[in-house]
Amino acid sequence: MEGISILVVEDEEKIARVLELELTYEGYEVTKILDGLEAWRMYQSKDWDIILLDVMLPGISGIELLRRIRQQDNVTPVIMLTAKAAVEDKVSGLDLGANDYVTKPFQIEELFARIRAALRLKGKTQKEHPDGWLYLGDLKLNDKTREVYRGDLLVELTKKEFDLLYYLLQNKQQVLTREQIVETVWGYDYMGDTNVVDVYIRYLRKKVESSNAPTMIQTVRGVGYILKVQT
């Protein structure tokens, strides 16, 4: 854990202090902030390895803070913390680029596990693709600039379409179930139906596939999808 910095943004002093103590005990370098605007200034002061972000904050909300962060940074993992069970809050956070969601009260070991998972994914991506580009055939995606190209053609994607394609490319040549896709792209706490995956796959195919290019997004009947070059 040495050298891994965590920014904890939580306005409830007792919760923030518990998180600070528990995470420090685990070996993380922890900075806790109680106010949204102060957190925004602190975020800009250094490169953080991961951010734990409450939704309800004074100054600016956690959702607004996340929006500002994602305008500059699509790499740093953000795990949202909230006492609210409203689906709208979860959808807003995930659509803006949150990596995960934990609803209070939560078990600290669960939070630790989600932090480790987010850090593993970040580390794997940076190690394997230091320039930010992922490739498959003539398809390429940059997770830092959020650009997608099919050949020389720039493909315009929505936030969720990009996240879905990014996950498929990270796991190219592997069959992914709808449940795996929902948990990663929409989050563990997503309350909707896995049919949402089929809907967004259709959106992606319309934008990424063409009649004169090899099909890449392939259906595995009864299971899910795989991204590979058709031979």
What is the pTM for the complete model shown?
Answer: 0.55
pLDDT band at 11 (very low <50, low <70, confident <90, very high): very high
Q: Does pLDDT of 231 surpass 60?
A: no
Residues 16 and 109 in one domain: yes
User: CB pairs under 8 A, 24+ apart, for 72-76?
Assistant: 74/143, 74/144, 74/146, 75/122, 75/125, 75/126, 75/143, 75/144, 76/47, 76/48, 76/49, 76/50, 76/51, 76/122
Residues 118 and 21 in one domain: yes
Q: What percent of the chain has pLDDT over 70?
A: 86
Residue 128 has pLDDT above 70, yes or no: no
Q: Are residues 104 and 175 both part of a single domain?
A: no
Q: Is the pLDDT of residue 129 over 60?
A: no
Q: Are residues 116 and 59 in the same domain?
A: yes
Number of domains present in the structure of the chain:
2
Which residues contact residue 78 at a Cβ distance below 8 angstroms, ignoring those fewer than 6 apart? 50, 51, 53, 66, 69, 97, 98, 99
Residues 89, 192, single domain; the answer is: no
What CATH number does the domain containing 122 carry? 3.40.50.2300
CA 214 vs CA 147, 180, 205, 223: distances in Å: 20, 25, 12, 22
Q: How far apart are CA 6 and CA 52, in angstroms?
A: 7
% of residues, the chain, pLDDT over 90: 41
Looking at 67, 98, 128, the residue that finishes a domain is: 128
Do 82 and 182 fall within a single domain?
Answer: no
61 and 105 inside one domain:
yes
Statement: residue 229 has pLDDT above 90:
no
Q: Do residues 116 and 140 both lie within one domain?
A: no
pLDDT tens column, 23-76? 999 999 999 999 999 999 998 888 788 999 998 899 999 989 998 888 767 778
One domain, residues 10 and 124: yes
Confidence bin at 187 (pLDDT 50/70/90): confident
Q: What is the mean pLDDT of residues 116-141?
A: 72
Domain that holds residue 169: 133-227
58 in the same domain as 123: yes
How sure is the predictor about 123, in pLDDT bands with cuts at 50, 70 and 90? low
CATH of the domain at 167: 1.10.10.10
The helix or strand, by DSSP H or E, that contains position 184, with its residue range, turns out to be none
Check whether residue 80 and residue 165 sit in a common domain: no
Q: Based on the fold, state whether residues 137 and 118 are members of the same structural domain.
A: no
Residue type, position 98, single letter:
A
Contact between residue 101 and residue 108 where contact means Cβ atoms under 8 Å apart: no
